Structure 1
Amino acid sequence: MRSLLSRWGSITVISKMGQGSTFSLKLSLVIDHKEKSVELNKRTLADNHQDDLACDIPLTILVAEDNKINQIIVGKLFSKLGYKVDIVVNGLLAVKAIENKTYDMVFMDM
């Protein structure tokens, strides 16, 4: 298991060779001057009642991803939670997107 911690939350990955990986994302957000903690994991994404998360915690999300399959997967994951994401294919286009619109979150790899 590996975890990445920051003042905004944490990302944890549990990976087993030949079995796959489980990613968990825990965010600490301040919305309307109230701090809310949100934890997304395999169980959350499988829960059919989570499609209203975007109503409870509205976010504008940008995803920078060059792989088309990964774009589809991340789009579906966020859609299941009730979010519509903007997707760009590289970091340069992400910077341009941020210049034109304010995002609460930007997801991108290295």
Structure 2
Amino acid sequence: MPPRNYTYPSILEALEERGDMTHRELTQDLKCSPVTVHANLRKLRDDGKIHICDWLPPKGKGPRTPVYRYGYGRDANKVVQSNEDRNLKKLAWVKARAMRQKLAECQANPFST
């Protein structure tokens, strides 16, 4: 069944010419809606025309970002964060929160040291 929109073949063309790309890069390159790109990426993966070759770590908080590649292949495994790393991040967050609360209390009292 031929595609009904222009984005479907444009995504294939962009991946073939420029190599591996993320969802955001495709959206900026094709100058169209992220929802449109996401829907077409899902269709292309279901058809076996593209696959996920890598997962980029998040910048700050958030999920990992898939990197898409033209052609048939197995999707890369999404790396799961270990419990130790997760606990270290939680501990750092708790310490930072306690420090912010302490600083807020000190700012309210001009005589505190």
Report TM bin, short chain: under 0.3
Give the greater-gyration-radius structure (CA): 2
TM-score, normalisation: structure 2:
0.22
TM-score, normalisation: structure 1:
0.22
Larger strand percent: 1
